[in-house]
Amino acid sequence: MTKPMTGRAWAKSSCRVLLTLTLLAAVVLPAQAAPDAAAALSIVQKNNCLSCHAVDSQVVGPAYREIAKKYHGDASAPDKLFTKVRNGGAFVWGEVPMPPNPNISDADLHTVIAWILSGAPDK
């Protein structure tokens, strides 16, 4: 019968298992792709988002990079922003309400939101 591990032997074995699982996850799990900036910019241009927003300065609504800062680290941000852009919203960034945007496809909206939350990179 095998004697149970304790102390250093247990800690060493646990570290090996944890390292192996971490490396396996890094290889097996797909990395989240960086948003395509060119595609996102094309979508915001096509849908007239740039009439009220800009990448790095406030127009009528907030700059995309300010939105990224506000929601940094918020795991629920993609869902919140999807709902807000789709249905419209008010009084988060000022007094001017954002109108609903029902004509942007779900896929395009997800692309734009991922791009914004990544800091709205130029490339």
What are the structural domains of the chain? 37-117 (1.10.760.10)
How many other CB atoms are there within 10 angstroms of residue 23's CB atom? 10
Q: What pLDDT shows up at residue 109?
A: 97
pTM of the model: 0.71
Which 3 state secondary structure label does DSSP give 98?
strand
Which comes out higher in pLDDT, residue 21 or 68?
68
Q: Which has the minimum average pLDDT: 16-25, 36-45, 75-84?
A: 16-25
CA atoms of 72 and 47, how far apart (whole Å): 25
- Confidence grade of residue 15 (pLDDT, cut at 50, 70, 90): very low
